Amino acid sequence: MGRDVRIRHITEGDWDAIVALEAAAHSAGALSEERHALESRARSSPGTCFVLDFEKRPAGYVLALPYPMFRYPDLSRAEDVVHHSRNLHLHDLVVAEHVRGNGLARELLHRLTTTARAKKYERVSLIAVGGSEGFWSANAFDAVPEVALAPSYGASAVYMSKALRMSEALRMSEALYRSEPVHEDRDARRRSQPMVRSTDHPRKTK
Ligand SMILES: CC(C)(COP(=O)(O)OP(=O)(O)OC[C@H]1O[C@@H](n2cnc3c(N)ncnc32)[C@H](O)[C@@H]1OP(=O)(O)O)[C@@H](O)C(=O)NCCC(=O)NCCS
């Protein structure tokens, strides 16, 4: 296949194409979001959201925004705060069906990871949906099955995470969350999540 591929930041004129790509990828799994919710994710962090042009037409995108570790967007709601976190949450990555299998998702991910490192993020998280866990595992993301997910993400959804670099505070937060002595009440830990929330400093966008 010819390789006229360009990855660039999203502009206003891209949204019709992004919404169409998103619906084609996620409607069957009932995971599709409203346009205003998608736009709000990108508005939260325009520097970490990209569109991929193939043969000069949008054929893929990635939306990523800072989110405290182990937390994630509500699919039914727009973002109303910008989180301050060293964890970047890859909310969605889609490649158009007719160009899949050509390494384009990997190129989008590489661009995002390079950007995240340059912006001093320490980790990238995501929720693998629709059977995509294998793709993310092959790209060095580890499943964190302890993280309870909203049913709206689908029964097979799995929270995954990958280290870029790690501060001592984030390392301790993750170690505490993941260390689960056999006698411990796992559900009680899930309900409380104190160390995670302590890193969360949201501020209103408006
Ligand atoms: C998942 C998705 C982004 C992959 O896009 P793509 O451009 O086909 O991926 P690439 O060509 O970069 O794939 C690179 C490698 O991952 C593998 N791969 C792709 N999709 C995979 C999957 N679902 N499970 C396991 N491996 C997968 C490819 O076989 C390829 O392997 P290789 O290097 O050994 O040949 C694409 O299928 C898609 O848009 N799916 C719908 C949306 C979605 O589920 N996004 C993820 C939301 S969390």
* For range 173-183, the mean pLDDT: 58
Collapsing DSSP to helix, strand or coil, 101 comes out as coil
Interatomic CA distance for residues 206 and 191, integer angstroms: 30
24 Cβ below 6 A of ligand 1: no
User: What amino acid occupies position 78?
Assistant: A
User: What amino acid occupies position 120?
Assistant: K
Q: What is the pLDDT of residues 21-49, one digit of tens each?
A: 999 999 888 899 999 999 999 999 999 99
174: pLDDT confidence band, cut at 50, 70 and 90? Answer: low
Going by alpha carbons, the residue nearest to atom 17 of ligand 1 is 135
User: What amino acid occupies position 161?
Assistant: S
Interatomic CA distance for residues 94 and 51, integer angstroms: 10
* For range 179-204, the mean pLDDT: 40
Going by alpha carbons, the residue nearest to atom 28 of ligand 1 is 101
Q: What is the distance, to the nearest Å, from the Cα of residue 53 to the centroid of all Cα atoms in its chain?
A: 20
| Ordered domains of the chain (ranges, CATH) | 5-204 (3.40.630.30)
Q: Choose which residue among 132, 136, 158 to substitute to test ligand 1 binding: the one with the highest number of ligand atoms within 8 A of its C-beta.
A: 132
pLDDT of residue 49: 98
- CA dihedral (15, 47, 194, 77) in degrees, to 10, reads -10
Q: What is the pLDDT of residues 110-143, one digit of tens each?
A: 999 999 999 999 999 999 998 999 999 999 999 9
Interatomic CA distance for residues 161 and 141, integer angstroms: 5
Instruction: Specify the length of the chain in residues.
Output: 206
Distances (CA, A) of 120 to 33, 34, 88, 166: 29, 30, 10, 10
Q: What is the distance, to the nearest Å, from the Cα of residue 29 to the centroid of all Cα atoms in its chain?
A: 17
The pTM of this model reads 0.84
Going by alpha carbons, the residue nearest to atom 26 of ligand 1 is 135
pLDDT greater at residue 64 or residue 199: 64
Query: Does 168 have pLDDT greater than 70?
Result: no
